[in-house]
Amino acid sequence: MTFRARHLLGIEHLAPDEIRTVLDLADTYVDLNRRTIKRTDALAGMTQINMFFEASTRTQASFELAGKRLGADVMNMAVAHSSVKKGETLIDTALTLNAMHPDLLVVRHPSSGAVNLLASKVNCAVLNAGDGKHEHPTQALLDALTIRRAKGRLQRLVVAICGDIAHSRVARSNLLLLGKMENRIRLIGPPTLMPAGVNEFGCEVYDDMRAGLEGADVVMMLRLQKERMDGGFIPSEREYYHRYGLDAEKLAFAKPDAIVMHPGPMNRGVEIDGELADDINRSVIQEQVEMGVAVRMAAMDLLARNLKAERGRMAAGVVV
Ligand code: ASP
């Protein structure tokens, strides 16, 4: 197994063999999670703290379940009631928690780069559960696992990522991962929702859904990230749905067996038609949620192995 990382801060620093290692191990956790008894002891005796400074449903729940299924002691820090509200800085909060000797720290923060900063101040393994517009590595890994299981491979696929690319950490992490695995990526959305410098990303860029979806194997829809918009990026939601919302008519331009993905939370009738989202013959949105738990188990298991090995070397006095 190849996985050298000390933290999981983004896809940027993961090599293709490390990505494959996470996905292969996650496949075994999918099997475990389908059993009645879903317990292992990979993290037995270890402490996991989840710190979510931004709202989350799927990610927080799945990190919590993942830790518990691996046998860790899991604590969810109630940020809304913590000293953060009294003005404590992120670093002070991190140092306070660090003094309690956690082994894994799972952090979501509204500022890009905040999780990297925090990782440099603590001596446990840190997992980025989404930082601003920067990265959401476990989302890209769970998307990759979903695609690999649905398509039987993770290379040479035409993947269309559609909607609010500019404000999406999901798009950024997916772009990095799918690019490393040699897929053809198309970005589709209105020019106002494309990031600066998009033409240098090495992807094809479209502002017309039908043209962009032509022959796609995977259609990944994104939510309009209104919390990160400070102004009018679209004329109206109605018009946006008309031009960029995925429905059966637009999906017909993709390959007949193309899968439909969405990281959630979904805005039905804004970026995706509600019936299509529920169509189990096309939509893999529920599989994505299932894969999320398995991928987070795999990532935490691998980081914990590296942490144990590092501590073992330190205890033996080996200088690294
Ligand atoms: N849940 C994903 C994220 O945290 C996508 C979204 O919020 O639209 O980035």
CB neighbours of 4 closer than 8 A, spacing ≥ 6?
15, 18, 306
| pLDDT tens-digit map of 125-156 | 999 999 999 999 999 999 999 999 999 999 99
| pLDDT tens-digit map of 95-111 | 888 999 999 999 999 99
Give the distance (Å) from ligand 1 centre to CA of residue 319: 40
Token pair recorded at residue 202:
């090495």
Mean predicted confidence (pLDDT) in 286-301: 98
Is 110 touching ligand 1 by the criterion CB < 6 Å? no
- Cα–Cα–Cα angle for 222, 225, 229, rounded to 5 degrees: 140
**Euclidean distance between the first and the last CA atom of the chain, given in angstroms as a whole number:** 21
State which H helix or E strand residue 132 sits in. none
Say if CB 110 and CB 54 are below 8 A apart. yes
Give the atom of ligand 1 at the shortest distance from the alpha carbon of 136.
9
Q: How many CB atoms sit inside 10 A of residue 209's CB?
A: 24
| pLDDT tens-digit map of 15-40 | 999 999 999 999 999 999 999 999 99
Q: Report the share of the chain in percent with pLDDT over 90.
A: 86
Residue closest to 79 by CA, chosen among 100, 49, 115, 113: 49
pLDDT value of residue 319: 63
Say whether pLDDT at 297 is over 90: yes
Give the distance (Å) from ligand 1 centre to CA of residue 247: 21
**Residue of higher predicted confidence among 87 and 168:** 168
Give the distance (Å) from ligand 1 centre to CA of residue 265: 7
State which H helix or E strand residue 46 sits in. none
**Residue of higher predicted confidence among 230 and 8:** 8
Cis peptide before 16, with omega less than 30 degrees from 0?
Answer: no
Cis peptide before 265, with omega less than 30 degrees from 0?
Answer: yes
d(CA 189, CA 203): 13
pLDDT value of residue 79: 78
pLDDT value of residue 225: 87
Confidence class for position 268, pLDDT limits 50, 70, 90? very high
pLDDT value of residue 230: 76
State which H helix or E strand residue 184 sits in. strand 184-188
Across the chain, mean pLDDT equals 94
Is 130 touching ligand 1 by the criterion CB < 6 Å? yes
d(CA 32, CA 29): 5
